[in-house]
Structure 1
Amino acid sequence: MVRCLGCMADIPEEEEICRHCGYQKGTDVKEAYYLLPGKMLGGKYLIGKVLGYGGFGVTYIGWDATLKRKVAVKEYLPSDFATRSYGAELLTVFSGEATVQFEAGLNSFISEAKRLAKFNRIPEIVDIYDCFMENGTGYIIMEFLEGVTVKEILKTQKNIPVDEARRIAMAVLRGLSEVHKEGIIHRDIAPDNIFINNKGEVKILDFGAARYATAAQSRSLSVVLKPGYAPEEQYRSRGEQGPWTDVYAMGATFYRMITGILPEESIERMVEDHLKPPSALGITIEPNTEAALMNSLNVRKEFRTRDAETFYKELDSDEKVERIQEEKTVQEDFKIPAWMRWGTVAAGMLVCFCIILLATGKISFTKKQIDSVGGAEALKEGECYVPNVSGMSYEEAEKVLQEKNLTVLINGMNYSESIEKNKILNQTPKDGEIITEEETVYVIMSGGGQEVMMPDLSGMEYEEARELIAAQNLVLKTDGVTEEYSDFVEKGRIISQNVDPEERIKVQTEITLTVSLGSLSTETAVLTVPDVRGMTKNEALACLSQLKESTGFTYSLGKVKKEFSTEVEKGKIISQGLEPGSEVRTNEPLTLVLSKGPQKVQVPEVVYMSKEEAVKKLEEAGLSVQIQEEYSSKVSKGLVISQSQTSDAKVGKGTAITISISLGEEPKKSDSGNSNKTPSSPTEPQEPQQEPQEPQPQQPQEPQAPQPGGEVLEDDGGVVEDDNNNVVAD
C-alpha cells in the first residue's frame, strides 16, 4: 500500500487513480514554485497536492508520519519577494529591499504561528501543531479541515437563512474576541476565510495575512484588502486598525450572507452611503439583530461597534439594542480648485512632451533614473544602473549588459505563460539597481507554458474521463459535452475527444467530449462473436458494421483498454472480451485491448535545472541518465547546459539521456602559459600516459556527443499512466 498524495488515503501501489478522491499519480504541479508532491519536511511531514495559494503562501495537504494523521501545511512564499525553480526545495529570495521585506514577513509568519498555537483550546480557531524553518522559508503545520467555506456555500445559493448566518457570525465573533485580547487582529475576515466543517463547526482561516506583508507599497496588499469587506481605515496607510476593523469585516460578511448583496466599498460610503438595512430589502430579521448588524457597519470607527465581544453580546441580547446613527459632522468638498485644474493641464502637456522625446529616442532613462532625484549624477565612478533584460534572449541580454561592462549568467528556469521559452523571465539585480561594473547579472530563463500529454479517453466511462482531465490540469469545457446515439460504444462511455491522444498541449486547455447514449435499438439476438484480434479499432468497427448489415443486429463496443506490447503492432487489437466463435446476446458489450506498441515516454525538459533536479525528473519519467561535464561562461555551475533528447521527443522507456552539467567558467591560464586541467567526464576516465611527455598546454575537453539509447530500466520509474495505460505525464 502507498499513500495517495491527493487525499493521503492508503491505496494499492499499482493503483494509478485514487479510488477515494480521483487523484492521478504523478500529476504535475500547476505552478513551478510549488513544492512537488512527495517531498518530506521536518523529517516527518509528507507533502501532497496544493490546496490553495494566496499572495503570501501556499497551503498543501500533508501527512504526519509520526502521529499518523492528515495535516494542512502552510508555506511562507510571498510572490513579490521570492520564487522557486521547478523541482527545487530552496526558495530564491529577490535581492535588495525584497530580502529585507521577505525576512521581516517570515519572522512575523513564524511568531504569529507561535502566538496562535496558544488558542488551540478555542473551537473556532484552527489548531496549530508545529512551525519551523526549512528551505530558506517557514512552515506552519495545522489541523486539516474537511468541509466548505462560506464563499463556496454562497456560490450554490444566493443567501443563507438569517438564523444560520447569525450562528456562523456569533461563532466567528467568539473566536475573534479571544484573539483580540492577545492583541492579534485578523484583518481579512470574509466568506472565503470562514470554514464550515463536516460536523457543522465554524473555523476561522488564514490569521495574520496582513502582517506577512511588511510594506504598504507591496503589490500583495490587494490580497488582504477585499473591497466590500474592508473598513475605510484599511485603505489608508496611517489608518488606525484594531478589533473594530474585524468587526466591520464580520458585519459585511453577515450582510452578504443574509441579503446576497455585497456592501459598497467603505471608502465610497464615506462620501455617500446607500447601504440599506436588510429589512428594507425584504429580509425577515429581528430588530435587535438588524440593529447590531448595522452598528457594526458604521463607516467611521468612532460610531462603529468597538470590538467582537460587544458585537457578539448585541447579537445574543434579549434587551433592545440601540441603533447608533453615524453623524456626518464633516461635509467633504471634492470640487477641484481652479489653480489645481490649470496645474493638471500644464502637467499633462509636459508629460505628452516627454513621451514624444522618449518615443523619438531623444531621451531615455532606466527605472532607477526615473525614480532617483539625482538621476545619473548620483552614480559614483565605476558604478552603473542595471538595464532591464527581462523578455530578451540570452544573446540579446549579453549584448546589452556588455555595453555596461556587466556579465550575464543563467541561474535557473521557471515555467511562464507570458514569457516565451528561452527568454529571460526575471533578473537579479533588478532593473535600475546600482551595481559596480564587471559584476554579474543572474537571470532565470522561461521554460514557456507548461505542457502535458493528452490522454486517450475513448471507451472510458464519463466520470472516469472527467477525473482524468482534472488530474492532468486540463479543463472540461462548461458546455463541452455532447451526447450521441451509437451502435458501437456502450452507453455512458466516451466516443471521441477534441484533442488527439498523446498530443502535447498547455495546461488548462479546454477539452470537449462526445458521450454515447447507447444504441437506439432495444432488440437483441443471439449471434456468433467475430474474431477482431489483429485488427485496428476502426477495422473492428467496420467488421461490426458489416455484421449489422447482414443480420440487422450488432454488438456495442465496450471499454477499450490499452497495453504496451512488443509483439502486437501499435493500434492493433491484442485481445477481446468475448471469445471468438462463441454465441452471445448482442446487448453484451465487446471489450477490446489495443496495443500501444513498445512502451515510450515523453522526455521532460531539464535544461537550466540543477543536476539533482534533472536526474530526479528524468528517472521519474522512466529514463536512465548519463552525465558529462563541461565549462560554461553562460550557465551557473551545477546547472544543466543541454540534454541529448529534446522535450518534444518520445523515446523507449529506459533510454539513456545524456545531460551536460556546467563546471562554471573555465579557469584562466597560469603565467607559465599552461591552463588548469579540465576535469575528465566521469563516464570517460582518461588512460594514464605510458611515457613522460613534453608538457603541452591542455585545452578544455570538447562536450561529448549525445548518446541515444541505453539500458532499459526494470521498474516503472514513476511514469504516470491513465486507466488505459497511456503515459500522460512526465
Structure 2
Amino acid sequence: MKRNLCIGCMKEKNLDGPCPYCGLDEVQYKPSLHHLNPNTILNETYLVGKVLEEDQFGITYIGWDLKRERKLAIKEYYPNRYVVRKLDDPIIIVKEAEEVIYEDGLHKFIEEAEGLKKFQNLPGIVSINDCFKENQTAYMVMEFIEGITLTQVLKKNDEKLSVDVVMRMMEPIITSLSAIHRAGIIHRNIHPDNILVSGSGVAKLINFASVRSFIMEKERSFSMVLNPGYAPEEQYRSRGEQGAWTDVYLLCATIYRVITGVVPEEALERRYEDQIKLPSAFDIQISKQQERCLMKGLAILKQDRYQTMDELHRGIYEGYWPREKKPNTEQEKVAEGQNYGVIKEHEFHGRRKVFPNKVIPVAAVCILLLAVGTWKINKDKQDVVLRNNSQGSQLGHIESEKTSELERETRAEESTNKTEHIKEEKETNTEKETSKPQKQITENRTLIADSYTDKSKKTTVLGSKIERKEILTITFLDDLKEIPKKAWDVSEDKNEAVMAWTEKNGDGYDLYIAANGKITANQSCKELFAGYENVKEIEFNDCFDTSNTTDMRAMFKGCKELNSLDLSSLDTSKVVGMGEMFYQCEKLKKLDLSEFNTSKVINMAWMFFECMNLTDLDISEFDTSNVTHMEGMFNACKKLESLDVSSFDTSKVTNMEFMFGDCRSLTALDVSGFNTSKVVNMAWMFCNCRKLTNLDINSFDLSNVENKEFMLEFILIQ
C-alpha cells in the first residue's frame, strides 16, 4: 500500500498542504537544479526526500527504506567542482578533463563506506547500512539521528557546556574512534557541526572526510577542506602525515571550543606564536589532569600529542599521565658537530606563552629548552641539518662544511666553561664594600665562553650561581682599579684578568664585567647573553674585543626585554655562525648592523626570528656570499614594513624555508636578484606576508627545489 510520506520528515500525513509535523509545504519546496527530485527511488529500495545538508563533496538527503520501513539518511557523492546534473535527470555528468580525479574520489567514497559498514554498533559514530552505485555516482545509506548539531546545542546554552557534560558526551566518540582507527580509518573532519546530539544527550560523529582529504591532496587546495581553529598543522600541508593523532587534535579542539566558548587559534598562527589560553583561564571547573590531557591533545606538533584515542581516553578518564620519554637514539638527540644554528622544528614552533606578562619563569625556560633541543653542540663531527619530518620539509638535508678554517675556528668551544661555581653573596645597599687589592695584570684578558646552562640545569651568570633572569643591565668596563671584594674571576685562564660582580637594583641586579684595558671576547660567544630575559641594556663601551670571535650563534637569544643595542664596536670579520643571534629579542625596535662584516658567515638561520617589534633593520652592507642557510631568517618580524635584501648574494644558499614567513607588515620586497639555483627548500618562504602584494619571483630558479609547500600562502599577489 502506498503511503503519503512527508518529504521533509518522512512521517505519514493524511492531508495535502503543509506537513502537520515539520511544516514543510511540498508545493512550495523547490530543490536546486542539481539535487535529486523528491520521491526519487534509488536502488529500488530507498525513497529520497528533501536535502538535509550539502558541501563541496556531497549532498545528504532524508530518506525512507521502503523494505524495512524506517527513516534514514542518504549521502550522494557529488563533488561539485567536477560534475553537473541536468534538470530532472538523476544521471551525473563529469566535466571534461576531470574524469580521473572524479573516479578516484568515487573509489575513495565507496571504500570509506564499505569500511564503516563493519562498525554499525559503535555508540559514538553514525552507522552505515548500505552503499551502492547508481546514476554514475555512489550513495551511502546511514542511520537517521533525531537530533541537532552540537553547534545548535551551543547556541541554546550560551555557547558553552560544562566540562562534566562534555566529557560524558565525548567518551563514546573517543572509544568509537579508537575502534575505527585500528581499522585504518581516520575521520579528519571533527568539529561541532559534525556531531549530532539526540534529545537524550547522546552524541554521534558524522561526515567522515577521506574523500575531502584525497581531493585536497590532488588539488593542493586546502581552503576547500579545513576548518580553521580545529584543523591541526599537518592538514595544512600536502605532505603532512595524518593519522589517529590528527583526529586527537580535532577532537580536543572541539572539546576546547565547547567548554570555553572560544575556538582555538589556528594551528598556523600557533606555529608563529602560541598564545592559546588554558581552559582554566576562562573560569570554568576543570581538573588539572583533564586540562593537561586536553592541552597535550592540542600540541601543535603531532609527535607531542597523544598518538591514539586510547591514550587520550586513559588520560582524561583514567587519570594516566605518560612518563617523559628520554631520547635513546642519535636521531632523537641534538645534532652534533659543526652546526652553526640550524635547529629542529620544535625549537621554534609550538612555544607556549601562557603567562600574562610573557616573561617565562626560568625553570619553565629550562624545561622548554630541554624538551625542544639543547644547545650543547660538540665540534668533532659534520654539520647536520635535521630533517623536519613532520612537515615533509627538506630542513634536514645533511651538509658538511668542509673547510679547514671552519674546523679550526670552532674547536675553541671544547675548552670552555671550566670555571667553578661560587656562592651567591649577600648584598646590602647600606654597607660600603672595601676594594679588592689589585695584582699587576699582564696575562691574557680573555672572557670565558659562558654556556647557557650549568650542570645543575639552572640558567646562570658567568660560572656563578646567580640566575640570568635576575640581571637587569650588563656593563663592560676597562678598569680594575676599584672592584668590590665580592667580584669573581671570569677570565679564561683564571688569572683574575677579567672580573665580574653584581650590584643590587630593585628586585634584580646590574652585572659588571671589567679588565685593565679591552676585554678579549672568547672565540665562542655562543649564547653569551642568551636567556637574560629581563636585561634592558647591554653597554659594551668600546671595550669588548671580538676580533678573534668565530661563533656568535644565539648570542642574544631570548633577551626579550632588550630595547636597544649598540653593536657598532663589535668586530665580526672572523665570525662564521650567526644563526639565532637575535632570536626572540621581542622588544628591539631598531638594529643597525651596517658595520657588520659578514664575509665569512655560513649560517644566518633564524637570525632575527620573532623580533616582533623591529621596525628599523639596517643590513644593507651584509656580505652573504658564503651563507648556506637562511631559513627563518626574518620569520615573525611582524612590524617590519621595509627590508633591503636587494644586494644579497644567495648563490650558496640551500634552505630558505620560512625566510620571510609572517612578516605581515612588509609592503615591498625586492628578491628579483636572488640566485636560488642551489635552494632545496622554499616551504612557507613568504607565508602570511599579508601586505606583500607586489612580489616578483619570476627569476627564481626552482630546478632543485623539493619543497614549496605554502610558499605564498595568504599572499594576495596582483
TM-score bracket relative to the smaller structure:
0.3 to 0.5
The structure carrying a bigger strand percent of its residues is 1
The structure carrying a bigger helix percent of its residues is 1
Give the TM-score of the pair, scaled to structure 1. 0.45
Higher relative contact order (CA 8 A, sep 6+): 1
